[in-house]
């Protein structure tokens, strides 16, 4: 039986040589090629890129060869490139989309395929469902290209120069340079090598780098810019006297930020701070977006600044739609993804790090000091995310439990039940818990937020207890 290829929140991912095989890659690309032929007018072009993972060059070559047979011109990115750089190039060239071989922040044994539509955004379910249907149809009919397909020729391209030029328009490098701050950058052996740091240095800003070599094993762990994986960045910051450390994941669509004293600043808080900063520095008050699992500090700041708030399901593609329509100044997810107005409608970890550098430079305060100032405006918010593995029995019971609307949680009154994505219970004091069941594994993702650190500990225990007593 053929492996079912499903495009989830950020494309299709699988373990190399298990489900991510040449056979299944050809099936996926065939489905994409058929979809693009049916959707495009005239000669179609697709950008084909990759991150630095094992066999990435070979998978790109296989994909380009298949697209050629379908009469679609492959624009092959010659070097590993960040997902946002590929997204920007789709928009700049007005291409018909992009195929990007990346598993983002997943462990090194994974690879994946992200498909972007002609607007540079991650493909919405209405498009990926058509691709999945095309894959199934090709399995039935053999997958041969249509008889009228005129073989196309591939073109090699680079995306770096155009993307960096765009960042020069977006970021106030003069302000960063004037402040004299030093920066440290950690690409985690990923696709952003030679991007953030090279740009800062070209702009006359001191920047030291760690993990600046290709390593398909990413140091033996997932290329995820999370607190516990950034100790080398901290050490380099201490050595150089840097006031901020910025990091990106494997394909540079996610960010990690370390403050001057070595404190990791939660992506939730970074999104809230950057929203506050963009209103202050750019005067952008058209709107803000966040996923249902992202801090309600954004909600409070939206009220404070009198800015329209959009709360979306989890998945940046929904925020990307709002960026395309210019309904928001910034949109972000607690999983360390954000983008801004007039930019790519996909997550951009390079942009996020550089914006944080600008914010520290222009405000003249550490991120910790800025966070306390923001708490002074709207009160404190302490978010947390946990994953709980479930037995089959508990998962079955819990699946039924989350269908009900509880009136209390841990002895406290539930003020609002939100079902935008999973089950979110908002309590009277503004604290909340959100449960999202994984569709692929026996795991429930639990997001909690409280107004004090002590209450967060209580909420976290209550959240676990609510799962275990399903």
User: Average pLDDT, stretch 41-66?
Assistant: 95
| Contact of 328 with 338, CB cutoff 8 Å | no
219: nearest Cα among 234, 237, 238, 232: 232
209: nearest Cα among 261, 254, 248: 248
User: Average pLDDT, stretch 300-318?
Assistant: 96
| pTM for this model (two decimals) | 0.95
The answer to whether residue 439 scores a pLDDT higher than 80 is no
**What pLDDT score does 441 carry?**
73
d(CA 143, CA 327): 41
CA distances 164 to 68, 158, 265, 362, Å, are: 29, 12, 25, 21
Per-residue pLDDT tens over the stretch 125-135 = 899 999 999 99
| Contact of 171 with 355, CB cutoff 8 Å | yes
Confidence of residue 41 (pLDDT cuts 50, 70, 90): confident
**What pLDDT score does 470 carry?**
72
**Domain span(s) for CATH 3.40.120.10 in the chain:** 12-158, 162-378
User: Average pLDDT, stretch 168-185?
Assistant: 98
Confidence of residue 197 (pLDDT cuts 50, 70, 90): very high
Radius of gyration of the chain (CA): 22
Q: Cα angle at 445 between 190 and 397, to 5 degrees? A: 150
Question: HSE of 436 in the Cβ direction (CA atoms, 13 Å)?
Answer: 21
d(CA 438, CA 387): 10
**What pLDDT score does 10 carry?**
76
The pLDDT mean for the chain works out to 95
The answer to whether residue 335 scores a pLDDT higher than 70 is yes
**What pLDDT score does 40 carry?**
86
Per-residue pLDDT tens over the stretch 361-416 = 999 999 999 999 999 999 999 999 999 999 988 888 999 999 999 999 989 999 99
The answer to whether residue 440 scores a pLDDT higher than 70 is no
Query: Is the CATH number of domain 162-378 3.40.120.10?
Result: yes
CA distances 99 to 45, 75, 128, Å, are: 11, 10, 13
Confidence of residue 8 (pLDDT cuts 50, 70, 90): confident
User: Average pLDDT, stretch 448-461?
Assistant: 96
| Contact of 339 with 330, CB cutoff 8 Å | yes
Under CATH, to which class is 12-158 assigned?
Answer: alpha beta
| Contact of 32 with 99, CB cutoff 8 Å | yes
Per-residue pLDDT tens over the stretch 140-159 = 999 899 888 899 999 999 99
Per-residue pLDDT tens over the stretch 230-264 = 999 999 999 999 999 999 999 999 999 999 999 99
Q: Which segments within 174-281 are labelled E, that is strand?
A: 183-186, 207-209, 244-248, 255-259, 264-265
**Domain span(s) for CATH 3.30.310.50 in the chain:** 382-468
Q: Which residues are CB-neighbours of 18 under 8 A, at least 6 positions away?
A: none
Q: Please state, for a pLDDT cut of 90, what percent of the chain lies above it.
A: 90
The fold for domain 382-468 equals: TATA-Binding Protein (3.30.310)
């Amino acid at each position: 039986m053929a492996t079912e290829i499903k495009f989830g929140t950020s494309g299709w991912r699988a373990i190399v040589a298990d489900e991510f095989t040449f056979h299944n890659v050809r099936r996926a690309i065939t489905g994409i090629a058929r979809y693009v032929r049916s959707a495009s007018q005239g000669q179609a072009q697709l950008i084909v890129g990759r991150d630095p993972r094992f066999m990435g060059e070979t998978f790109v070559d296989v994909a380009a060869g298949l697209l050629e047979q379908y009469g679609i011109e492959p624009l092959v990115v010659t070097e590993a490139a960040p997902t946002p750089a590929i997204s920007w190039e789709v928009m700049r060239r007005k291409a018909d989309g992009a195929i990007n071989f990346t598993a983002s922040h997943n462990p090194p044994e994974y690879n994946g395929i992200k498909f972007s539509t002609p607007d540079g955004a991650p493909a919405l379910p209405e498009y990926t469902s058509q691709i999945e249907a095309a894959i199934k149809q090709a399995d039935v009919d053999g997958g041969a290209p249509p008889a009228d397909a005129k073989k196309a020729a591939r073109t090699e391209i680079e995306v770096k120069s155009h993307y960096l030029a765009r960042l020069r328009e977006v970021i106030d490098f003069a302000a960063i340079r004037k402040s004299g701050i030093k920066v440290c950058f950690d690409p985690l052996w990923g696709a952003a090598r030679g991007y953030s740091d090279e740009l800062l240095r070209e702009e006359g800003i001191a920047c030291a780098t760690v993990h600046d070599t290709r390593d398909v094993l990413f140091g033996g762990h997932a290329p995820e810019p999370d607190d516990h994986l950034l100790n080398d960045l901290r050490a380099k910051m201490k050595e150089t006297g840097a006031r901020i450390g910025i990091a990106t994941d494997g394909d540079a669509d996610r960010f990690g930020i370390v403050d001057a004293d070595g404190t990791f600043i939660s992506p939730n808080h970074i999104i809230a701070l950057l929203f506050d900063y963009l209103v202050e520095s750019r005067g952008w008050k058209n709107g803000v977006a966040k996923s249902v699992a992202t801090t309600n500090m954004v909600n409070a700041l939206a009220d404070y600044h009198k800015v329209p708030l959009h709360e979306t399901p989890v998945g940046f593609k929904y925020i990307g739609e709002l960026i395309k329509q210019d309904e928001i100044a910034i949109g972000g997810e607690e999983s360390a993804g954000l983008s801004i107005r007039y930019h790519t409608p996909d997550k951009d970890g390079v942009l996020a790090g550089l914006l944080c550098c600008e914010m520290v430079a222009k405000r003249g305060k550490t991120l910790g000091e800025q966070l306390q100032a923001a708490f002074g405006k709207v009160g404190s918010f302490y978010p947390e995310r946990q994953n709980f593995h479930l037995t089959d029995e508990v998962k079955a019971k819990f699946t039924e439990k989350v269908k009900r609307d509880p009136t209390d949680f841990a002895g406290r009154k539930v003020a609002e039940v939100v079902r935008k994505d999973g089950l979110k219970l908002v309590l009277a004091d503004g604290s909340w818990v959100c449960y999202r069941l994984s569709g692929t594994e026996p795991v429930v993702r639990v997001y909690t937020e409280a107004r004090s650190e002590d209450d967060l500990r209580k909420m976290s225990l209550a959240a676990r207890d609510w799962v275990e007593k399903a």
